[in-house]
Structure 1
């Protein structure tokens, strides 16, 4: 890591520094919220924005994290009003277990909470079982008044398991990308109900493999280089 942490690239609302590139280039490093935010911004621009912008929301991990320290529904409503959450069919919430708002890039695990509007349910994906389940329940309780009425129950989904203690964030990004692409693939059909749900679960385990997740680091690095050339 360099002593001076220079900006490598800014893309939409995300900025990556030399230190973030250092993390991506080392296979045993836990990826931080800046890297997750960058990839979600890219996915939103290249996939969601082109195919399902009205239906799908990829929530910022930093914004979701800060909501843990907001007490009133009014503050949350004002903060997220521009995102029109109440009109979305799928909302993806990256979940982190950092309990200290003064620590940047804190915590030790990433997982995923998905709100599915047609079911009016929250679904929880975690490559380490239920490590962040309590954090996911906190997030669902914070947002339930805005998107699901009073229903804040979290349904635990079977999730491909990570083979180490540092790839959790890459699993979150891979699962988000997979589910977004499934939504696009099946168009307006409700992919989470009845005959589609079992097929998607099978496809999830076939698609999200340790090899694919490992390659996600190189994929992100390639995207960064491509975007730098476009500047």
Structure 2
């Protein structure tokens, strides 16, 4: 048995999903998707309309889509061209099946600058996958024939093989927090330490328990 712990908007967390946060474990789509849901629904409602948080499953669909028309039809309800910032959780899974892969990174589209910023805690390991996602979104965001650059940004580095998902969540949170002090999301390279990641894992566990009424 793997009972449901929390049903939150479009996210469903089971006991096995929450157990991943207690570490040391690699995070799956469900945990990262829940974090993005929480950012949109509660944590960063002040950015509503300006920011959009794309779940891992949708990002994977974008990467694997066979045509620009398929991407456009699927994403039309999200009104992405009207957003200033689009956060996407990128996985290195190269297969059409959503589950799989071994590494996560964060891709941020900055509409004002017409470019993508890639934050990878393993120094560009996911660069081909991030560029694939960016390429799939180019014509949808800017129109046919328009090209968008992808910049590998300075990023805190993970020190093990399993914390990449936590870096995606923490990087996203810190970038959104930085908007409160200015117009451009910025990320310091020395904020996220191993102690910080460990503390954040515990905080997310407590948050889920609170939302579940436990």
- Calculate the TM-score normalised by the size of structure 1: 0.87
How far apart are residue 103 of structure 1 and its match? Answer: 6.0
Q: Secondary structure at the match of 1:68?
A: helix
- Please, what is the CA RMSD of the aligned residues? 1.5
1:25-174 equivalences in 2 (<5 Å)? 25=22, 27-49=23-45, 51-102=46-97, 104=99, 106-149=100-143, 150-174=146-170
The answer for unaligned runs of 5 or more in structure 2 is none
SS in 1 for 2:175: helix
Distance 1:119 1:56 in 2: 15
| Cα offsets for 1:158-181 (capped at 9, x unmatched) | 111001110000001000001111
Instruction: Work out the CA distance in 1 between the residues paired with 2:177 and 2:205.
Output: 21
Distance 1:213 1:152 in 2: 32
1:16 to 1, 13, 21: 13
Distance 1:228 1:93 in 2: 26
Alignment check: 8 A CA contact 2:57 2:98 kept: no
Please give the alpha-carbon distance, in whole angstroms, between the structure 1 residues aligned to 2:62 and 2:196: 31
Deviates more, 1:123-132 or 1:146-155: 146-155
Describe the superposition over 1:101-127 as per-residue Cα deviations: whole angstroms up to 9, x where unpaired.
Answer: 3362x1110001110011000111000
Q: Which stretch of structure 1 is more off in the superposition, 166-175 or 141-150?
A: 141-150
1:184, distance to aligned residue in structure 2 (A): 2.5
Q: How far off is 1:207 after superposition?
A: 2.2
Query: Out of 3, 7, 15, which is 2:4 matched to?
Result: 7
Mark the runs of 5 or more structure 1 residues left unpaired by the alignment: 193-199
- Which of 198, 212, 216 does residue 196 from structure 2 map onto? 212
**For 2:19 and 2:175, how far apart are their aligned partners in 1?**
29
| Runs of 4+ residues deviating >4 angstroms | none
The one-character-per-residue Cα deviations of 1:29-52 (angstroms, maximum 9, x if unpaired) are: 100110000111111111222x01
1:5, 1:19 within 8 Å by CA — same for their partners in 2? Answer: yes
Aligned residue-pair number:
212
Considering fraction of residues, name the structure with more helix.
Answer: 1
Tell me the TM-score normalized by structure 2: 0.94
